[in-house]
């Protein structure tokens, strides 16, 4: 089934209003969630919406709370998300980082007590659209063992690096610290295929490409093995210790679904570092060099990270957003 | 062979002085290079020293050049490294980031025309020792194909996230964007063992654990496959476009060994974000939670990234730094 962007957005907004969300927050959250699906990030768009509504019902997402500034010092600021909507809080914080970067060249916001921000790249795009480079990351509930461990004590903590590209789609790396998500593994198990590379460990502690074995062992593989495990832990420490919020360890002790996470947002007003100069030439040269790489026989096209968004967006605007029938029917009944 | 730290440092300093390096730079560079080996990072310590001396001889490392500030705006600053010693330039820049963070809460230095900084974690430690969180990254010569490509057009661009830990070794993730280095592959080929997981592609475009096959194909595997490739490219864009320096593409076009790279240094004065509060409790809880993970049958001990440095340092201080006989003899002859 395909649904237009406007129909999607309006339906999500209607449901959010029904569940007690104020008009301003409902409009913004619905827009961003629909946009995630429009741009091809289905797992962090429509497909996650029912869980958000469930979390509102459970009281762990409080849709009308507003982020509260705790303290500002120069270009850094501490914000309490008061368990509000993750999208509203994160958008506010990257917006503040951009404001602080206008004055200080760089701004950093540490956010505590917030909720799932849906698509990490949203806030990278936000910085880029304001003409700034952006870095942001979040911690999560424990969902992955650290390197050499059996039990899940680190999060898959997505990380974003984003740089504006005037001539086309922004350059945005948006990566979770697990090689594959449980969502991807569950889809593979359902459709009965193996992952293209090791996705985790089986019950015997051996690397496996079998999605069912990893789901059974709960031993998801960190991105780059020990490397992703290390980066996940340090990002968790950054976000929780700077924000004075929950670490992944603390989130794991809270009752119920994931909530109360910690995040970090950095905006870099890089144009002010060299007034009168522009990196446009450096950027275009690097892009051209990359995308003209010699292709592997199995590769159709070499792209930079973020490049395909414009095309997916254009196609889904034209044809409608592809939606799983059952997921859409469930949303219509909410 | 084992050599004391002081003997190592003094010998390296003597050689640097002989090759025309001023006393101040020779002392600092020799200290940091010896310290890298002391703390167990042999590949980026003594083992890399002869290459530095060769690069000085080639004129691509200019040991007496000093970093020059191009422009400062609030907490951000643009610095030209003038092809000086990578360690001197990088230390200067993280130092400036720390200074700017004292005033603005956060500081960012973009550095162009610099050289190999040896061990990336050095500058993370520097921030931590000043009581600040640090992020830094560098680009490199092209040494890895991007995802789906045959020819090397991206760098392995090391990334550091560092957070201070009063009660013990700082928490420092220091990761290159290649799963294994060519150094590690060459050692494995020499000693005739397979890598523990895929290290790259063979000539048929298949993933392989055989070090010889990867060295032959020059198709090193990015950390986390497409993820490390994406992050490598965006970090390259950050460093080169903010610093207005060479991208990996441009470095690849320069004649001779790698030189003229671009780097980025961020220091975060996080204590000022919440005066009167401390994240010590959050940090200790997260560390305890991690290191008490249930171990895999093959795991002797779970550690956080950076934790082992103190022990290696103590052992090497006591017993001397382990040095390859041939490498040390070559240094004595320089």
pLDDT at B82: 98
φ, ψ for residue A68, nearest 5 deg = -115, 125
CA A263 – CA A122 distance, rounded (Å) = 14
- ipTM strictly over 0.85? yes
B237 to chain A, any CB pair closer than 8 A? The answer is yes
Instruction: Give A103 to chain B, closest Cα distance, Å.
Output: 7
> What pLDDT is recorded for position B183?
86
pLDDT number for residue B15: 98
What local confidence, expressed as pLDDT, does residue B179 receive?
97
Q: B273 exposed, middle or buried (CB, 10 Å; 0-12, 13-18, 19+)?
A: buried
Element (H, E) at B236: helix B226-243
Q: Which fold has domain B179-220?
A: Wheat Germ Agglutinin (Isolectin 2); domain 1 (3.30.60)
Number of helices (H) and strands (E), helices first, in chain B?
A: 12, 13
Q: How far apart are CA B86 and CA B93, in angstroms?
A: 11
Nearest chain A alpha carbon to B103: A74
In this prediction, residue A37 carries a pLDDT of 97
The CATH classification of domain B65-178+222-271, taken from the options 3.40.50.970, 2.160.10.10, 3.30.1370.60, 3.40.50.410:
3.30.1370.60
Substitution target in B137, B170, B233, B267 with the highest count of A β-carbons within 10 Å is B233
Tokens of B197: 């997981």
CA nearest to B305, candidates A151, A146, A138:
A146
At A30, list the tokens.
């619905």
Q: Report whether A215 contacts A107 (CB < 8 A).
A: no
User: Which 8-state DSSP code applies to residue B45?
Assistant: T
Place A34 in a pLDDT band, splitting at 50, 70 and 90.
very high
Q: How confident is the model at residue A81 (pLDDT cuts 50, 70, 90)?
A: very high
Question: Which of these, B127, B115, B97, B54, lies nearest to B245 by C-alpha position?
Answer: B115
Gap from B295 CA to chain A (nearest CA, Å): 5
Q: Mean pLDDT across the stretch A247-269?
A: 98
Consecutive 10-residue runs of chain B (334 residues): their mean pLDDT?
97 98 98 97 94 98 98 98 98 98 98 98 98 98 96 97 94 97 90 94 93 94 97 98 98 97 98 94 98 95 95 97 95 96
Phi/psi of residue A159, each to 5°? Answer: -125, 135
Select the residue of A227, A249, A302 nearest B146 (Cβ to Cβ): A302
pLDDT (mean) for A96-112: 98
Distances in whole angstroms, Cα of residue B103 to Cα of each of A93, B75, B76, B166, B269: 21, 8, 11, 23, 9
Q: Which CATH number fits domain B1-64+314-334: 3.50.50.60, 1.10.1740.10, 1.10.1530.10, 1.10.150.20?
A: 1.10.1530.10
Cα(B98)–Cα(A272) distance, rounded to whole angstroms? 19
Q: Is A125 a catalytic residue?
A: no
Measured in angstroms, the CA of B128 and the nearest CA of chain A are apart by 12
CA distance A243 to A118: 20
Average pLDDT over every residue of A247-275: 97
Contact (CB, 8 A) for B303 and B291: yes
Q: Give the Cα separation of A253 and A258 in Å (integer).
A: 10
CATH number of A1-64+309-334: 1.10.1530.10
Rounded-to-integer distance, Cα A7 and Cα A312, Å: 18
- Report pLDDT digits (tens) over A195-242: 999 999 999 999 999 999 999 999 999 999 999 999 999 999 999 999
For domain A180-219, give the fold. Answer: Wheat Germ Agglutinin (Isolectin 2); domain 1 (3.30.60)
Q: Where are the domains of chain B?
A: 1-64+314-334, 65-178+222-271, 179-220
Distance CA B119, CA B123 (A): 8
pLDDT (0 to 100) of residue A273: 93
pLDDT beyond 90 at A183? no
Question: Which pLDDT score, from 0 to 100, does residue A167 have?
Answer: 82
pLDDT of B307: 95
Q: Is the pTM for the entire model greater than 0.80?
A: yes
Whether A104 sits inside 8 A of B108 (CB atoms) is: no
Alpha carbons B200 and B202: distance in angstroms, whole number: 7
- pLDDT for the residue numbered A193: 96
In angstroms, the first-to-last Cα distance of chain A is 19
Residue A208's pLDDT is what? 95
The H or E element spanning position A90 is helix A86-104
Q: How far is CA A329 from the centre of its chain?
A: 25
CATH 3.30.1370.60 fits A65-178+222-303, yes or no: yes
- In angstroms, the CA B85 to CA B97 distance is 19
Tokens of B19: 């090759």
- In whole angstroms, what is the distance from residue B276 CA to residue B272 CA? 9
């Amino acid at each position: 089934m395909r649904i237009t962007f406007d129909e999607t957005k309006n339906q999500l907004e209607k449901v959010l209003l029904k569940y007690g969300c104020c008009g301003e927050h409902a409009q913004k959250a619905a827009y961003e969630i629909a946009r995630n699906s429009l741009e091809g990030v289905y797992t962090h768009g429509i497909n996650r919406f029912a869980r958000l509504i469930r979390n509102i019902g459970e009281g762990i997402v409080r849709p009308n709370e507003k982020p509260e500034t705790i303290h500002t010092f120069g270009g850094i600021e501490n914000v309490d998300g008061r368990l509000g909507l993750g999208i509203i809080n994160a958008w506010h914080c990257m917006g503040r980082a951009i404001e602080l970067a206008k004055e200080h060249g760089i701004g950093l916001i540490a956010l505590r007590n917030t909720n799932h921000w849906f698509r990490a790249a949203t806030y990278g795009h936000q910085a880029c659209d304001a003409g700034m480079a952006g870095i942001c990351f979040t911690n999560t509930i424990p969902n992955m063992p650290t390197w050499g461990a059996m039990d899940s004590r680190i999060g898959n903590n997505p990380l974003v690096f984003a740089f504006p590209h005037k001539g086309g789609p922004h350059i945005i790396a948006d990566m979770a610290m697990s090689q594959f998500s449980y969502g991807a593994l569950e889809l593979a198990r359902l459709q009965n295929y193996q992952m293209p590379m090791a996705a985790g460990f089986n019950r015997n502690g051996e690397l496996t490409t079998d999605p069912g074995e990893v789901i059974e062992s709960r031993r998801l593989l960190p991105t780059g093995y020990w490397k992703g495990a290390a980066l996940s832990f340090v990002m968790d420490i950054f976000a929780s210790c700077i924000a004075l919020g929950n670490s992944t360890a603390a989130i794991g002790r809270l009752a119920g679904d994931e909530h109360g996470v910690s995040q970090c947002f950095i905006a870099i007003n890089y144009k002010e570092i060299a007034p009168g100069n522009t990196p446009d030439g450096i950027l275009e040269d690097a892009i051209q060099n990359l995308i003209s790489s010699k292709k592997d026989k199995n590769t159709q096209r070499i792209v930079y990270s973020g490049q395909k968004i414009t095309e997916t967006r254009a196609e889904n605007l034209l044809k409608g957003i592809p939606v799983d029938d059952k997921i859409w029917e469930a949303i219509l009944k909410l």
